[in-house]
């Protein structure tokens, strides 16, 4: 009798564990998903980062059916105003939350403009294999057919999915799942704006069900050497753009004088730099004044280096776009300013 009683208790415990909802924390940072417009027809000219986290959660009562939700407001900004300070706060918060056995996954609501940069930054500094998912919206919360609520529901479904561990930081938007390293915003206004131009999405979400179809092979999170614990600021890295008749040293000089430790060049084609600007960069590299990574303004594809460029000290940003190359160069500079060592980071991450 006693045995039967304990057997039933055990079975009950196991089945309760199987049906236990995951504990998901939503960290809100602002963006259009929290945007408010004067009219429900307006999808431009609104104020991004206006509504608080509780409003976003209450707009999707179905969240309670799939997860135990708690929310925290980390910032409430238009993501075009994102700062290193918000990144450092966010990264430390994510790491501290995920170190608790009471947290199974994290969703971060974020503006779409710089979502790819924040996602890639976290992909390199989060020290956990639990899911971290960014989401946002292209239409403000007040718009007819606002896309935010469904994106939030999908992001929570993904963060609570048992197969979402070990995938690095992800972006869930418009029913698709992207790896943080590969995702990029490609359209100014359309809801179908996120793409992964070098590799495609890694999965999709249908009615809350998560399907993975591929993986990013680049190392991330626990397998990355970068750590932001105790960091008060990040090394300054800027981006210079190459274009026709770009003969001026002015931009590079100004960035250098403002304290840049590194530069990413958004080169033309496979990373070409106008010769006038390139000659100046070669001069600065020879004086070890700064570190220079060559990326491309094209939007996809690898940037190769000639033997001469390697000797000159240039680094290839691999196939990272300029804004992502900047993120990796900043973190690389927390470790070393040796171009050969930094090149290894660009090959791996
Ligand atoms: C922003 O990035 O904060 C504004 C644009 C958006 O979220 O779509």
Please report which confidence band the pLDDT of residue 118 belongs to, taking 50, 70 and 90 as the band edges.
very high
Q: Please state which of the four CATH numbers 3.40.50.1170, 3.20.20.80, 2.60.40.290, 3.40.50.10860 is assigned to the domain occupying 21-223.
A: 3.40.50.1170
| 179 Cβ inside 6 Å of ligand 1 | no
What's the pLDDT score for residue 319?
A: 98
| 78 Cβ inside 6 Å of ligand 1 | yes
CATH 3.40.50.40 is right for the domain spanning 237-348: yes
CB atoms near residue 246 (< 10 Å): 16
- Same topology for domains 21-223 and 237-348, yes or no? yes
Q: Residue holding tokens 């991330």?
A: 220
Q: Which of 112, 135, 142, 221 is catalytic?
A: 112
179 is in an annotated binding site: no
Q: Is the pLDDT of residue 174 over 60?
A: yes
| 187 Cβ inside 6 Å of ligand 1 | no
| 113 Cβ inside 6 Å of ligand 1 | yes
Q: Is the pLDDT of residue 322 over 90?
A: yes
Give which of 287, 322, 316 is closest to 303, Cα–Cα.
Answer: 316
Residues ≥6 apart with Cβ < 8 Å to 51: 34, 35, 36, 141
What's the chain's average pLDDT? Answer: 95
Atom of ligand 1 nearest to the CA of 35: 7
Mutate to test the pocket of ligand 1, among 33, 37, 112 (most ligand atoms within 8 A of CB): 112
| Both tokens assigned to 115 | 């979502």
Q: Is the pLDDT of residue 13 over 70?
A: no
How much distance in Å is there from the Cα of 308 to the middle of ligand 1? 41
Q: Distance (Å, rounded) from C-alpha 170 to C-alpha 119?
A: 7
Q: Half-sphere exposure (CA, 13 Å, Cβ side) for 146?
A: 22
Tens-place pLDDT, residues 58-77: 999 999 999 999 999 999 99
CB atoms near residue 241 (< 10 Å): 14
Backbone angles phi, psi at 206, to 5 degrees: -125, 120
Instruction: Tell me whether residue 43 is one of the annotated catalytic residues.
Output: no
| 136 Cβ inside 6 Å of ligand 1 | yes
Please report which confidence band the pLDDT of residue 132 belongs to, taking 50, 70 and 90 as the band edges.
very high
| 32 Cβ inside 6 Å of ligand 1 | yes
| 295 Cβ inside 6 Å of ligand 1 | no
Q: Is the pLDDT of residue 14 over 90?
A: no
- Residue located nearest, by CA, to atom 1 of ligand 1: 111
Average confidence (pLDDT) over 90-113: 98
Q: What is the DSSP string of 282-319?
A: HHHHHTT--EEEEEESSSSS-----HHHHHHT-EE-TT
Burial of 55 (0-12, 13-18, 19+ CB in 10 A): middle
Contact 277, 240 (CB under 8 A): yes
Domain boundaries, the chain: 21-223, 237-348
3-class SS at 186? coil
How much distance in Å is there from the Cα of 3 to the middle of ligand 1? 59
How much distance in Å is there from the Cα of 150 to the middle of ligand 1? 16
Average confidence (pLDDT) over 280-286: 97
Q: Distance (Å, rounded) from C-alpha 268 to C-alpha 274?
A: 8
175 is in an annotated binding site: no
Percentage of residues in the chain with pLDDT exceeding 70?
95
How much distance in Å is there from the Cα of 47 to the middle of ligand 1? 9
Atom of ligand 1 nearest to the CA of 30: 3
| Both tokens assigned to 302 | 């690898």
Instruction: Tell me whether residue 32 is one of the annotated catalytic residues.
Output: yes
Backbone angles phi, psi at 275, to 5 degrees: -60, -35
> Which stretch of 30-34, 182-186, 213-217, 239-243 has the lowest confidence by average pLDDT?
213-217
What's the pLDDT score for residue 247?
A: 74
Percentage of residues in the chain with pLDDT exceeding 90?
93
What size, in residues, is the chain? 349
| 151 Cβ inside 6 Å of ligand 1 | no
Tens-place pLDDT, residues 20-43: 999 999 999 999 999 999 999 999
Mutate to test the pocket of ligand 1, among 29, 36, 46, 113 (most ligand atoms within 8 A of CB): 113
Helix H or strand E segment including 250? helix 250-257
113 is in an annotated binding site: yes
Q: Distance (Å, rounded) from C-alpha 130 to C-alpha 19?
A: 19
Backbone angles phi, psi at 265, to 5 degrees: -100, 125
Q: Residue holding tokens 């960091």?
A: 231
Residues ≥6 apart with Cβ < 8 Å to 305: 271, 294, 314, 315, 316
CB burial readout 107-116, b (16+ within 10 A) else e? bbbbbbbbbb
CB atoms near residue 333 (< 10 Å): 19
């Amino acid at each position: 009798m006693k045995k039967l009683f304990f057997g039933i208790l055990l079975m009950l415990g196991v089945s309760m564990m199987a049906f236990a909802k995951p504990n998901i924390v939503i960290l809100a940072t602002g963006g259009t998903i929290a945007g408010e417009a004067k009219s429900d027809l307006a999808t431009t000219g609104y104020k991004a980062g206006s509504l608080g986290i509780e409003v976003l959660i209450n707009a999707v009562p179905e969240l309670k059916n799939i997860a135990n939700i708690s929310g925290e407001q980390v910032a409430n900004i238009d993501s075009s105003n994102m700062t290193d300070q918000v990144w450092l706060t966010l990264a430390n918060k994510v790491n501290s939350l995920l170190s608790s056995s009471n947290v199974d996954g994290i969703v971060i609501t974020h503006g779409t403009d710089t979502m790819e940069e924040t996602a890639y930054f976290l992909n390199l500094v989060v020290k956990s294999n639990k899911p971290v998912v960014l989401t946002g919206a292209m239409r403000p919360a007040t718009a007819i057919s606002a896309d935010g609520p469904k994106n939030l529901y999908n992001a929570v479904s993904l963060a609570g999915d048992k197969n979402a561990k070990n995938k690095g930081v992800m972006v869930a938007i418009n029913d698709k799942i992207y790896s943080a390293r590969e995702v990029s915003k490609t359209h100014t206004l359309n809801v179908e704006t996120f793409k992964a131009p070098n590799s495609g999405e890694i999965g999709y979400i249908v009615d809350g069900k998560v399907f993975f179809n591929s993986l990013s092979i680049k190392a991330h999170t626990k397998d990355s050497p970068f750590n932001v614990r105790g960091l008060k600021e990040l090394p300054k890295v800027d981006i210079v753009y190459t274009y026709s008749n770009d003969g001026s040293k002015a931009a590079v000089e100004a960035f250098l004088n403002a304290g840049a430790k590194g530069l990413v060049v958004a080169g033309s084609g496979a990373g070409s730099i106008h010769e006038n600007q390139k000659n100046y960069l070669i001069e600065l590299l020879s004086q070890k004044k700064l570190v220079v990574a060559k990326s491309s303004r094209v939007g996809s594809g690898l940037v190769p280096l000639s033997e001469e460029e390697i000797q000159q000290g240039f680094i290839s940003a691999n196939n990272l776009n300029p804004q992502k190359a900047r993120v990796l160069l900043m973190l690389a500079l927390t470790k070393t300013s040796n171009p050969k060592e930094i090149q290894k980071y660009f090959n791996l991450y």
